Amino acid sequence: MKVAVFSTKAYDRQFLSTANSPTQHDLVFFEPRLNRDTAILAANFPAVCVFVHDQVDAPTLELLASRGTRLVVLRCAGFNNVDLQAAADLGITVVRVPAYSPYGVAEHAVGLILTLNRKIHRAYNRVREGNFSLDGLLGFNLHERTVGIVGTGKIGLILGQIMKGFGCNLLAYDVYRNPELEALGGKYVELPELFANSDIISLHCPLTPETHHLINSEAIEQIKPGVMLINTSRGALIDTQAVIEGLKSGKIGHLGVDVYEQESELFFEDLSGEIIQDDIFQRLTTFPNVLITGHQAFFTAEALHNIAETTFANISDVEEGRTCANEIRA
């Protein structure tokens, strides 16, 4: 199938081209993101392939549909950037890669926890400058601390397994209980109880209208003072301004995020020579107890390989009229 592949970097092109060898789809790589302005690039392509920052909203879908596109192929799991109802109304099929790096994301969340706790990001710089003072580097044992996991699907469960290995107690909140998490000794509680009793809170639920700004000023009131908050899921789970206030007051002791509500203006690009206009983001970077990575939790060789393989299997399923297990509907 002829596929317009948007938001591609050199690493995407490398992994996608390799995985496409057996399937031989006709790929045309575009560096820009898909949105209303760039949709014209996909004219006469029956399929478009997109990632997390492409804007697959109703106007974009209408433009795509009017020029022959019938398939939107997501190279990611989250689909909050796609208007599924508009796609259904226009007869456009949407498929995704539901799991490509659950270990990678959970391991990255653990990396944020360990780095923030033991201040490894600060120690790295100090030692390079010949400063071997330990002042300000005091951490805490993870053993017997309580980790609250919000969203206990694939990634949340793996995080639970890893943290159990550190000897942590697990609290969990999800709209569905995961028996595997319970088998680890994880205890499902309501959110206020999780907020009040967790030393570390890690977010692993999808971004939906219900979870938008799940961590807001009301939630911050309920949390244990000095909590470590980790978000590797989607930026808008957190009300960043409220979290900044929580950091300033000391209610939040550490913040580790791989995602940020306005990240599409920043992440995946080298802006080191530019003046960043986002004052909220810039304020976040000034805290010594905040660690930000630019949506790299998924970024392992295994993940890029899995994304590419599943992407082409999805396209082939649709092209050959098979039921695609990874289709998503409104």
69-128 binders of ligand NAD (CB under 6 A): 77-78, 99, 101-102, 105
CA-to-CA distance for 32 and 156, rounded, in angstroms? Answer: 32
Q: Which of 53, 204, 263, 309 is catalytic?
A: 263
* Given 111, 148, 151, 186, the residue binding ligand NAD (CB under 6 A): 151
- Of the candidate spans 9-17, 55-63, 140-148, 204-212, the one that interacts with ligand NAD by CB under 6 A turns out to be 204-212
Q: Is 148 in the site for ligand NAD (CB under 6 A)?
A: no
SS3 165: helix
**DSSP character at residue 260:** -
Return the number of the residue (23 or 216) whose C-beta is nearest ligand NAD: 216
Q: Which is nearer to ligand NAD, 25 or 154 (CB)?
A: 154
CB 171 within 8 A of CB 199: no
Torsion of CA 241, 247, 249, 251, to 10 degrees: 110
Q: Rounded to the nearest whole angstrom, what is the least distance from the CB of residue 45 to ligand NAD in the complex?
A: 26
CA-based torsion, 212, 217, 218, 222: positive or negative? positive
Nearer to ligand NAD, 6 or 188 (CB): 188
- The DSSP secondary structure of 259-279, one letter per residue, reads --TTGGGTTTS--TTS----H
Compute the half-sphere exposure of residue 6: CA atoms within 13 Å on the CB side of its CA. 27
295 is catalytic: yes
Interface residues with ligand NAD (CB under 6 A)? 77-78, 99, 101-102, 105, 150-156, 173-176, 204-208, 210-211, 232-234, 258-259, 295, 297-298
